[in-house]
């Protein structure tokens, strides 16, 4: 596959840190040039565009960030990811709505705004608890689904001017939520300006981001793709919030999506003490360049180990398929050079992905039923962050799952039985 590089007009090179504006950025990981992770192909011969996939470390605030930013409308206008597609996520958003509702809302008139509200799973849970809700999501296909479910959703990018407009027409928000959205945003200062303007005094801003500590510890390099512009530890988040007179109320580590942190910030005139998490991160080296240089070596080792494991199975003449076609699988497959010579097909539950082909590697995507019928001897669990859910669901599978992260493991037969 000869990589085709896209014109520079569609990808901006990062020269300054998104949080602290420093120019002191060092390249720490190079995953080559890959197509956009959610650009599933209608036909394997469709033309594709590739963009550099590299990570930079900020030597001033320690934010880890992509070196090239692809134009957002190429990535987020027609979004294949559906937050309601997994039982784990549905349960997670129900719990979050109950927690925030119980702790931070006082009246049913309080407004809850979700940025990046996807198909409305979380807002639906809030509405079920009697709250007034509003969603904002630039993916028109998802905003339509949410609106059809009676969850009012504005199909645009959230920014400072929209925040003012919402405040004028509906009043201030008591809670603003941005789950898995912070990592996607280039102009964080514009977003935070909007949040600070829309949020009521004493209101809270709750975000969830994949945690850099988990990426580093578990070598989750596949969570790196063009949609994820930043890879957060708590320290750069606190630095950013402080620029908007906001402090951190709490930081919680969660298992979801391969390791996430929920950070709840508040707008308050009172001084909020520094998060104890920051000392913890310093002890783990999350503020040091050497940590991420070392990560680069561990990624290379992991990639070779996975290739070796799969090549060995293929050399014995046994078939392997992929289980799940998440965005992250496309980083893994492209970075390792795994295509149809290794995987016969991948399966996925998302209707929008079935019948299409994986970007860059052109593997056909089928329904789960196909996997259940074929019972292939090996299945590479590309959606490894749902390991427990999948093993339970596929307890009748007679073959063996291969878990790629943190280091390839072949599970014994029927671990779910």
Residue 134's binding partner out of Zn ion, ligand TYD, none, with CB under 5 to 8 Å set by partner kind:
none
Q: Which of 96, 126, 105 is nearest to 202 (CA)?
A: 105
Rounded to an integer, what is the distance from CA 84 to the centroid of its chain? 15
Q: Which of 145, 149, 104 is nearest to 128 (CA)?
A: 149
CA distance 219 to 205: 29
User: Which residues inside 250-289 make contact with Zn ion, applying CB under 5 A?
Assistant: none
User: Which residues inside 22-61 make contact with Zn ion, applying CB under 5 A?
Assistant: 22, 58, 60-61
Residue 36's binding partner out of ligand TYD, Zn ion, none, with CB under 5 to 8 Å set by partner kind:
none
**For the chain, how are helix, strand and coil distributed in percent, rounded to 5?**
35, 25, 40
> Phi and psi at residue 209, in whole multiples of 5°?
-135, 150
Count the residues of the shown chain that bind ligand TYD, applying the rule CB under 6 A.
17
The window from 2-10, 18-26, 115-123, 307-315 that contacts Zn ion (CB under 5 A) reads 18-26
Residue 20's binding partner out of Zn ion, ligand TYD, none, with CB under 5 to 8 Å set by partner kind:
Zn ion
For ligand TYD, which residue of 76, 79, 81, 241 counts as binding (CB under 6 A)? 81
Please identify, using beta-carbon distances, which residue of 362 and 393 lies nearer to ligand TYD: 393
β-strand partners of 135: 114, 153
CA distance 75 to 89: 22
44, 345 Cβ separation under 8 angstroms: no
> Phi and psi at residue 309, in whole multiples of 5°?
-60, -45
> Binding to ligand TYD by residue 78, rule CB under 6 A?
no
Alpha helices in 77-158 (DSSP H): 87-104, 121-128, 140-148
Per-residue string for binding with ligand TYD, 324-363, x by CB under 6 A?
xxxxx-------------------xxx-------------
Q: How far is the CB of 287 from ligand TYD (least distance, A)?
A: 26
Please identify, using beta-carbon distances, which residue of 68 and 257 lies nearer to ligand TYD: 257
- Beta strand pairing status for 51-58 and 25-34? antiparallel
Residue 17's binding partner out of Zn ion, ligand TYD, none, with CB under 5 to 8 Å set by partner kind:
Zn ion
> Binding to Zn ion by residue 229, rule CB under 5 A?
no
Which residue's entry shows tokens 């009172």? 270
Per-residue string for binding with ligand TYD, 28-67, x by CB under 6 A?
----------------------------------------
Per-residue string for binding with ligand TYD, 297-316, x by CB under 6 A?
--------------------
Per-residue string for binding with ligand TYD, 261-280, x by CB under 6 A?
--------------------
CA distance 188 to 265: 15
CA distance 206 to 191: 13
> Binding to Zn ion by residue 63, rule CB under 5 A?
yes
Q: Which are the contacts of 244, defined by CB distance < 8 A and separation ≥ 6?
A: 192, 193, 195, 196, 267
> Binding to ligand TYD by residue 221, rule CB under 6 A?
no
Residue 348's binding partner out of ligand TYD, Zn ion, none, with CB under 5 to 8 Å set by partner kind:
ligand TYD
Please identify, using beta-carbon distances, which residue of 11 and 325 lies nearer to ligand TYD: 325
Please identify, using beta-carbon distances, which residue of 194 and 326 lies nearer to ligand TYD: 326
Burial of 45 (0-12, 13-18, 19+ CB in 10 A): exposed
CA distance 143 to 122: 13
> Which residue sits closest to ligand TYD, CB atoms considered?
326
How is residue 17 written in tokens?
């840190």
Burial of 247 (0-12, 13-18, 19+ CB in 10 A): middle
> Phi and psi at residue 294, in whole multiples of 5°?
-65, -40
Count the residues of the shown chain that bind Zn ion, applying the rule CB under 5 A.
8
For Zn ion, which residue of 20, 242, 280, 319 counts as binding (CB under 5 A)? 20
CA distance 25 to 15: 8
Please identify, using beta-carbon distances, which residue of 195 and 383 lies nearer to ligand TYD: 383
Residues found near Zn ion in the complex (CB under 5 A): 17, 19-20, 22, 58, 60-61, 63
Residues found near ligand TYD in the complex (CB under 6 A): 81, 85-86, 324-328, 348-350, 383, 385-386, 389-390, 393
């Amino acid at each position: 596959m000869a990589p085709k590089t896209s014109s520079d007009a569609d990808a901006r090179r990062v020269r300054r840190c998104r949080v602290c504006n420093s120019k002191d950025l060092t390249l720490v990981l190079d995953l080559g040039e890959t197509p956009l992770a959610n650009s599933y192909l209608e036909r394997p011969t469709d033309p594709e565009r590739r963009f550099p996939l590299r990570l930079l470390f900020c030597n001033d605030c320690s934010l880890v960030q992509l070196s090239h930013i692809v134009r957002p409308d190429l990535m987020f206008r027609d979004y294949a990811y559906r937050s309601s597609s997994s039982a784990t996520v549905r349960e997670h958003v129900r719990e979050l709505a109950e927690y925030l509702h119980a702790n931070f809302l006082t009246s049913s008139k309080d407004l809850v705004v979700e940025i990046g509200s996807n198909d409305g799973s979380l807002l639906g849970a809030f509405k079920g608890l009697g709250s007034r809700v509003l969603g904002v999501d630039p993916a028109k296909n998802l905003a339509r689904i949410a609106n059809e479910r009676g969850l009012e959703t504005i199909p645009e990018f959230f920014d400072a001017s929209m925040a003012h407009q919402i405040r004028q027409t509906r009043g201030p928000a008591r809670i603003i939520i941005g789950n898995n959205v912070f990592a996607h945003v280039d102009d964080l200062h514009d977003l935070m300006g909007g949040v600070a303007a829309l949020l009521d005094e004493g209101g809270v801003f709750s975000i969830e981001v994949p945690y850099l500590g988990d990426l580093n510890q578990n070598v989750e390099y596949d969570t790196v793709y063009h949609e994820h512009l930043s890879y957060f530890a708590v320290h750069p988040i606190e630095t950013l919030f402080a620029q908007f007179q906001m402090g951190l109320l709490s930081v919680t580590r969660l298992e979801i999506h391969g390791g996430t942190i929920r950070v709840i910030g508040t707008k308050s005139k009172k001084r909020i003490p520094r998060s104890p998490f920051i000392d913890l991160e310093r002890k783990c080296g999350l503020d040091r360049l050497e940590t991420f240089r070392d990560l680069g070596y561990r990624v290379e080792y992991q990639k070779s180990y996975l290739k070796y494991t799969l090549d060995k199975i293929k050399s014995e003449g046994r078939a392997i398929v992929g289980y799940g076609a998440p965005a992250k699988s496309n980083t893994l497959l492209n970075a390792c050079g795994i295509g149809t010579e290794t995987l016969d097909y991948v399966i996925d539950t998302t209707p929008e992905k079935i019948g299409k082909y994986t970007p860059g590697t052109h593997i056909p995507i089928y329904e789960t039923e196909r996997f259940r019928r074929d019972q292939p001897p090996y299945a590479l669990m590309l959606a490894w962050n749902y390991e427990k859910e999948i093993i339970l669901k596929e307890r009748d599978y007679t073959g063996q799952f291969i878990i790629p992260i943190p280091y390839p493991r072949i599970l014994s037969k029927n671990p779910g039985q």
